[in-house]
Structure formats: C-alpha cells, structure tokens
Chain A
Amino acid sequence: MTTTLPLPTKRDEAWRYADLKALEAVWPKLDGPEKIAVAAGESASRQISVLPIIDGVGIVDLDVTIGDGANFALHVLAVAADYGRIQVKVTLGKGAHFELGGAILGSGTQTLEIVTETIHAEPNATSNQVVRSVLAGKATGSFLGKINVARDAQKTDAAQSVKAMLLDRTATANAKPELEIFADDVKCAHGATVGELDKQALFYMAARGLPPEQAQKLMLQAFIADAFVSMDDDTAREAIESKALEALEGLS
C-alpha cells in the first residue's frame, strides 16, 4: 500500500528536524508502517542495521503492538543515508516490555533520526530506550521520544537515555523527550547529554602509545556499545556492532 498522506511539514513535532526536501522525492513511493504484533506472553526482537535506501533516503516505519506480558526488543543503526529515519510507534499491553537500543552515526551533511512514540496503555508495563549518536562534519542526528502514559497505566516504568558525541563543532545533535502522563503512580526517567571526546582521556591513551585515530575509535566504540548491551543474542549483537564499527570508521 502506497501512502497517500500529505507530506509532513516542520510544524509537525515529529518531523521538525527532518530533511523534508530529501523526503519529498521519495514520499509517494513509501509504504505505510509495517505492523508487528507480539502475542501475549511472547518475546520478539528485530535488528535493523541497514536502511532500505531509495534515492539516498532510508525510512523505516514500524507500528508495534506488544501483548500482555510480552516483550519486544528493537536494535537499530541509523547510518549511510542522506536522510535516514527510523520511526517506531509502540503500544504496550499489561506488564509488557519494550526495549530500544539505537545508534546514530553520521558525517558530511547527513540527517539521521530515530523517532519513537511509546504508548503505555495498560498498567505495569516497562520501556527502556538507549540512543547513542556520534556526529561529524555538518551532520544532524536527532532523537525524538514521545512517551504517553494512559490514565489507567499505573506502575508504568519508562526510561530514556540519550547521549550524543560531536566530533566537530559544526555537527548538530537534537534530543527531545516528550512525556504525556495521565496516571499518577509512574516512573519516567530521562536523561540527555551532548558532549565531545574527553581530551584528558585521549592524552592518557596517547601516553600509553595509542595513535589518536585508534584512541578515538576505542572510545567511540565503547560509547555506542551502551546501545547494544541489552541484546541477549551474542551473535546478533556482534553483527550489529561490527556494522556500527564500519560506520564509525567512515566518520573521521
């Protein structure tokens, strides 16, 4: 099914950092969201390390429903597109869990973003989102995370940790948590930081003999590893980490 919705504008919150010019050309060719339903009590996971590129634009659009007591883990890499967007809408049932780990690795004039809408519709559900960005050149990397906790969704525990590392002062990182909470007994922790590589650590590593490129790579590798620690499957984790490493090497 091809989408017939009008092209979003910057006034749409979820698209405010998007590269709409790049999007325009491919918009008519996009399918609607892929629906994923995880049945009650089941576990499912998905890894996305390559975006489906059309004319330099790669859009992933997921609409996930997680049944009662079920859990869904999504690990993504936003890389290698002029404009790349991973957009996920998640609706959690009673006691369900959603785990997101994402890395955004961009350089040049790339615009890359991860946009989530997490709907805690029922009580006792948990969600945890960890996003790490490394941005060089004039790249823009954004995370927009909307969390909606319904009136009945007591004991919701929703966490977001978003950190970005800028390799050049000309790069841009956006982090935008957005909480809409209608229940009163909930925990919603969110933290966001934007920083540069620790110069003291770089000198320390050089003093032990590591050339600057290698020291930087080691630190960045450790930085983005946070996004993938939640993966149980070692083979899958190593696969996505090696893709991330390839992308990192292309940055500097």
Chain B
Amino acid sequence: MLRIENLHASVGDTEILKGLSLELNAGEIHAIMGPNGAGKSTLSYALGGRPGYEITAGSANFDGEDLLELDPHERAAAGIFLGFQYPVEIPGVSNLQFLRESLNSQRKSRGEEPLSGAEFIKLAKEKAGLLKMDMDMLKRAVNVGFSGGEKKRNEMVQMGIIDPKLAILDETDSGLDIDALRVVGSGINAIMRKPDKAVLLITHYQRLLDLVKPDFVHVLANGRIVKTGGPELALQLEEDGYEAVAA
C-alpha cells in the first residue's frame, strides 16, 4: 500500500530524514519508535505534504501513485489520514461543518456523491459514540477550548468519519490518561484493523502498543530506520532503551 524508498527530507537547511525506507501492506499495523529528534514527526509531515518539509531525494508511492506529486488535500482524498501530535484550533468553524465539508470534498474528488446533512449527522453520531465523545463537542469550534486528551480523541472521531485507507498517527497517545488511552486504542482497532487498511503508529510508549498490537516495529534514529522487528522489539526497547537497541 505504501512504499517509501530512500527518503530524504529537509526543514530549512537541516536534513532530517536521511534515506528512510519502509513498506506497509494492507492489513498491517506498523509502529515507529525512536528517540526525540529522530525524525518521527518529520516523516508524518513529509508524507502529509506539509509546506516547509522539502523532499530532496527518494520516493513514496501510495497504491501505485507517486505520493510526493500530490497536494496535501489530494493525499487526503487518496486515502491518507494524518493524526496530528498537536491538533490545530480553528476558531469559529464547527467540527461538524469542517468534517462534513472535508469528507464531501474528498468524496467529490473520488467521483462519489456527497453525503446529505442527515446522513452525515448519523455517521458523526456513530463515530463519536465509538470514541465516547459527546456530540455537543462536535458542534463546537474545531479543538477550541478542548483539553489535550479531548483533542486526541477528536482526531480519532475525525478518522472514523473520514474512514481512510492509511492512518499515520503521530503520538496520538501523548497527553492521554489511562482511560482515554483505552478508548483511543479500541477506536483505532475498530476503525483501522481491517484487511484493506493499514496504520503507521508513531509512538514513544509501549502502552499504546499493548492496546493496538503492531505487526512490525521499527526503530527510527538519526533519520533512518535502524532496526525492524516484531512486537517483541518494542518490549526490548522499553527494557533496554533506544541507545542499546539502535547501536
């Protein structure tokens, strides 16, 4: 589904990704772990097409399409969902309006019919329920006045509504208390653990991986994948630390 080869990415004059290669197939959940500054968030922004993240070499293909040629909104329509480490506040724009317009522009670009207001509300209610989020929060402005945990939960409600093929989740577990983590973990499983979908989980902690079992664990250090293994690699990292494992 996603094939990244020798990806180099820079922010300003600083090269952050230095030849990263990674392949995800449908039905797989991959975890990327690594020390601060390794390039984890840069990887998610580079794949999302964030302005200022310049790809200087390498390739990224998504379902056979050259991902790097697409604008950010086209990547979304192609089926990629970026879960933000720091979800952005949009004053004055309600969650429901934002998501309905987002979903319908994705549908339009795929040649599908837009959802009506009633169909959309039904869908939103279902996904909010899955993440145990109050519908009133969806009527409020996007992330404005939300706690850190509520913002992350809102990201997952958005993911449920948008129903992507590939979710790249950047530290979705940070800022969550134990109960919220459990809700988010089971949300990820319910929405994304399907034969035709894949997940790239960027995380620092084993705790999320207890809930969302990865098929592969990669260690990202200094802009490259330095080690790949099964779920046991995450446990080993937790035991021994990045330095020992990545060395």
Contacts and interface: CB of A to CB of B under 8 A. Distances in A.
Interface stretch (A18-26, A46-54, A217-225): A217-225
Contacts of A204: 84, 87-88, 90
B139 interface: no
B87 A208 contact: no
Interface string B156-184: 00100010000000000000000000000
A218 B90 CA distance: 10
B contact residues, range? 20 to 34
A211 B91 CA distance: 19
Given A208-B76, A208-B158, A222 B92 contact: yes
B90 A219 contact: yes
A222 B51 CA distance: 24
A205 B73 CA distance: 8
B90 A211 contact: no
Contacts of B162: 208-209
B51 A218 contact: no
A239 interface: no
Interface residues of A, number: 23
Interface string B65-109: 000000111011100011010011111110001110111011001
Interface in A45-102: none
A243 B127 CA distance: 35
B101 A218 contact: yes
B71 A206 contact: yes
B39 interface: no
A209 B162 CA distance: 9
A210 B102 contact: yes
Contacts of B93: 218-219, 222
A65 B77 CA distance: 56
A201 B92 contact: no
Interface string A186-224: 000000000000111101111111111011001101110
A152 interface: no
A207 B82 contact: yes
B167 to A, nearest CB: 12
A198 B73 CA distance: 17
A168 interface: no
B48 interface: yes
Contact of A209 (B49, B50, B102): B102
B73 A223 contact: no
A224 to B, nearest CB: 9
A209 to B, nearest CB: 4
Contacts of B48: 203, 207
A203 B101 contact: no
Given A203-B50, A204-B87, A205-B90, A218 B97 contact: yes
Contact of A212 (B73, B81, B84, B101): B73
Contacts of B49: 206
B163 to A, nearest CB: 11
A13 B7 CA distance: 59
Given A206-B76, A209-B105, A222 B50 contact: no
A209 B71 contact: no
Contacts of A200: 88
A111 B225 CA distance: 56
15 contacts: A203-B88, A204-B88, A205-B102, A206-B76, A207-B72, A207-B73, A207-B76, A209-B102, A210-B102, A212-B71, A218-B93, A218-B97, A222-B90, A222-B141, A223-B92
Which 6 A-B residue pairs are closest in the complex by CB-CB distance? Answer: A222-B92, A206-B72, A209-B76, A209-B106, A208-B102, A204-B88
